[in-house]
Amino acid sequence: MIQIPEKNKVSHFLVFYLIHCTQFGVAVLGFQPYIVEKAGNDAWISIIIAGLYVHLLIWMIYKILEGANGNIVTVHQELFGKKLGNMLNLLFCLYFLVLGISALAVFIDLIRVWMFPDVNIWAFAFFFLALVYYIVMSGFRIVTGIAFFGVILPSYIFIIFLFPLQFSSLMNLFPMFSHSFIELLKGAKEVGLSMLGFEALLVFYPFLKNPSLSKKWAHMGAAFTTSTYLLIMLVSMVFFSQAQLQENIWPTLTMWKIVEFPFLERFEYVGIANWNLIILPIVCIAVWCSIRILKDAFHFKQKYMLIIILFLTYIFSNMLQTRVRLDVFKSSLGDVSFYLVYVYIPFLYIMSLVIRKIKEKRA
């Protein structure tokens, strides 16, 4: 059982920001080609399917945790015993570590390609992670505050998606419903990998003041994410042709290039700079989840584990700064994430139901 002091907990409505900010990362800037490749002009349907499945998984996570008196650590120990349970806990610790490395590595690559080709990536990563260290060491309430500002402050960017509509063609959406259900599911798998992050709920659940009241806010956060991906996809599809979308690595940034103001010619520079506010809470939450699992499962000191986790993040995020390495890393992470989140969570839900029923009968 994990006991969290009341002063360290956060209000239930803040789950909205914690869920949404983790799902809304660098993938938003270039997720479109992967879905269009699988589902064509029905890619928007794949986004809806993926969003509905995320809602189902969030419902399962709450059901799993409601009777656990803790988080994923206590669930694993209850269902599989201490040894096997802690092995699974270590796997989730590594997963969140790799998730943070991926977010930072892709963002550094984005800055290097679009803004500053000669940027010192080691120096940038060092100062970025120094800020992460300060935030995570300040506690989960501060991490939540950063997530809140990471959603609110960059929200003006949504207005920018209205600019491409003046050059759009609705005919690009047709013919609709021309792809098989299997193709739509393949597209949903691709967008589902872009929506990862909500599984952090498995770790920070004990830090919620009223977990039962947070359910609707968690679903609202996931619904807002799905709506955002859907909006960006529809705007991209009416602005680009299907062939153009498949050849464009960063469609969202390409659309921003047409935005001009009397005082600003290259808006994509502003957008990428603001993406710091979006990536920062993602890395903070991923690092926090990783060290929290180590603390709850193995009773390690968080301060020392944080230094080790940040050191690994620093080394690997810089080592991945070649196109081949980054692509292989992202592909491998996608495969692991799919099974660990979209397959393992339903399995864990079924196991929790079966084992708890057996224990009730024995009692």
User: 217 to each of 86, 133, 240, how far by Cα in Å?
Assistant: 30, 28, 34
Could you tell me the domains of the chain? Answer: 6-362 (1.20.1740.10)
pLDDT in tens, 44-73: 999 999 999 999 999 999 999 987 778 999
**What pLDDT score does 287 carry?**
96
**What pLDDT score does 241 carry?**
86
Residues 55/63, Cβ–Cβ less than 8 Å: no
**What pLDDT score does 130 carry?**
96
Region of 232 on the Ramachandran plot (φ > 0 left; ψ -120 to 50 alpha; else beta): alpha
**What pLDDT score does 131 carry?**
96
Residues 321/108, Cβ–Cβ less than 8 Å: yes
Q: What are phi and psi of 227, to 5 degrees?
A: -65, -40
Burial grade of 172 (CB within 10 A; 0-12, 13-18, 19 or more): middle
**What pLDDT score does 136 carry?**
96
273-309 CB burial, b ≥16 within 10 A, e <16: eebebbbbbbbbbbbbbbbbbbbbbeeeebeebbeeb
**What pLDDT score does 1 carry?**
66
What is d(CA 338, CA 193) in angstroms, rounded to the nearest whole number? 7
CA–centroid distance for 124 within its chain: 22
Helix (H, G, I), strand (E, B) or coil at 268: helix
Own/partner pairs for 47-50, CB < 8 Å, 24+ apart?
Answer: 47/187, 47/188, 47/191, 47/226, 47/229, 47/230, 47/233, 48/226, 48/230, 49/184, 49/185, 49/187, 49/188, 50/188, 50/189, 50/191, 50/192, 50/195, 50/226
Ranges of residues in the chain whose predicted pLDDT is under 70: 1
**What pLDDT score does 349 carry?**
94
Residues 60/222, Cβ–Cβ less than 8 Å: no
